[in-house]
Amino acid sequence: MNLADLNTIARAMVAPGKGILAADESSGTIKKRFDVIGVESTETSRRDYREMMFRSKQAMSDYISGVILYDETIWQDAADGTPLVKLIEQAGGIPGIKVDEGTQPLPNCPGELITVGLDKLAERLAKYYKQGARFAKWRAVIDIGAGIPSYAAVHTNAHALARYAALCQQAQIVPIVEPEVLMDGDHDIDRCYEVTEFVLKETFQELYYQKVALEGMILKPNMAVAGKKSAKKAGVQEVAEKTVKLLKSCVPAAVPGIAFLSGGQSDEEATAHLDAMNKIGGLTSGLPWGLTFSYGRALQAAPQKAWSGKADNVAAGQAAFTHRAKMNSLASKGEWSSDLESKKAA
């Protein structure tokens, strides 16, 4: 492992004003997204959609540091035969790859899941590195409900995240460590805070035990938010203050950057929350790590709708993607305001 090189990549992933495009929806998930816009999910339509984004010059060069790809996409060529990985690299972006293989029920823990995919991961990482991947992602999911999460679910998922991260670093690939506490429940923001604190503490403990070099990784957490079904919504400032407090108490300063998932927040909420956190950071200059985005839904919902599977709509899809990428770039510097939302990117 060359830690200096891993650290250079990790810092580039969270470079000022840049964030990560999570375009790594599995075939099942992208089908659900395409169903909403009335597009049949085929190998070609998935390629065309992703090619549209990767050819968005301004977005990819100015606002996006890297792209998380799904296994199918990393091997695909654009319509003119250029590998999609090359399109990302030509725009100055870093290709990344989702390497977990989804979730399975965790035995003896009703309603809880464990992320799988460690078997043969070392061999798969070597192939992905050859294909151009310089970072990877593994997502663990922790649900909040009556009596859950259990210690077993938090611990086994943290253990798997650390095993994945250690294997990545050995393969000279920067691991994005993603322990996602879901926002599906009816819990309030304080319960989300408490569970996320438990999950992050456990994750960093496992990373330490398994000798993962913190300088060569990126954390991808959820924010502290109320569950979608909660009667008690939290405002933007409360989300920002509690999330910053939580991260300060759990994430060592050696970690170069934190890139949030959007987790089902609306586009504008995800941007407003990121912006408010960076405004706090700007005021205190007290944040040791970069705070940026690694959004899937919050970056792609608008371009998906604008594109809707039609070649004639490629420019509209690219404009919608560029706008969201620009808004989040501003938010990553604490320079966003809601009145910028009405001014579409050029």
Per rule CB under 6 A, is residue 59 in the interface with ligand 13P?
no
**Does residue 295 touch ligand 13P according to CB under 6 A?**
yes
Of the residues 7, 262, 304, 328, which one makes contact with ligand 13P according to CB under 6 A: 262
Question: What is the distance between the alpha carbons of residues 238 and 105, in angstroms, rounded to a whole number?
Answer: 34
Nearest approach in angstroms of CB 67 to ligand 13P is 11
Part of the chain binding ligand 13P (CB under 6 A), chosen from 83-91, 125-133, 256-264, 312-320: 256-264
Angle at 69 between CA 269 and CA 276, to 5 degrees: 20
Of 220, 242, 326, 333, the active-site residue reads 220
Residue 130 annotated in active site: no
Dihedral sign from CA coordinates of 83, 161, 217, 6: negative
22 sits near ligand 13P (criterion: CB under 6 A) = yes
Taking CB under 6 A as the criterion, the residue among 175, 263, 290, 317 binding ligand 13P is: 263
**Binding letters toward ligand 13P, positions 175-204, x by CB under 6 A:** ---x--------------------------
Backbone angles phi, psi at 261, to 5 degrees: -90, 160
Q: Which of 96, 19, 76 is CA-nearest to residue 259?
A: 19
Is residue 128 within 8 A of residue 3, CB to CB? The reply is no
> Nearer to ligand 13P by C-beta: 46 or 297?
297
| Residue 238: both structure tokens together | 């409360």
For the chain, the farthest-separated pair of C-alpha atoms sits apart, in whole angstroms, at 54
For 71, other C-beta atoms within 10 Å of its C-beta total 16
- Closer residue to ligand 13P in complex, CB, 56/254: 56
Helix H or strand E encompassing 184: none
CB of 153 to ligand 13P, least distance (A): 17
Calpha distance 139→154 (Å, rounded): 13
Q: Is 86 among the residues known to form the active site?
A: no
By beta-carbon proximity to ligand 13P, the closer residue of 21 and 153 is 21
Pick 259 or 311: Cβ nearer ligand 13P: 259
Q: 25, 73 in Cβ contact below 8 A?
A: no
In 3D, which of 222, 317, 196 has the Cα closest to residue 277? Answer: 222
Which of 18, 139, 159, 333 is the binder for ligand 13P (CB under 6 A)?
139
Please report, as residue ranges, which positions from 216 to 255 form the binding site for ligand 13P (by CB under 6 A): none
Name the site residues for ligand 13P (rule: CB under 6 A).
22, 139, 178, 261-263, 295-298
Active site residues per annotation: 178, 220
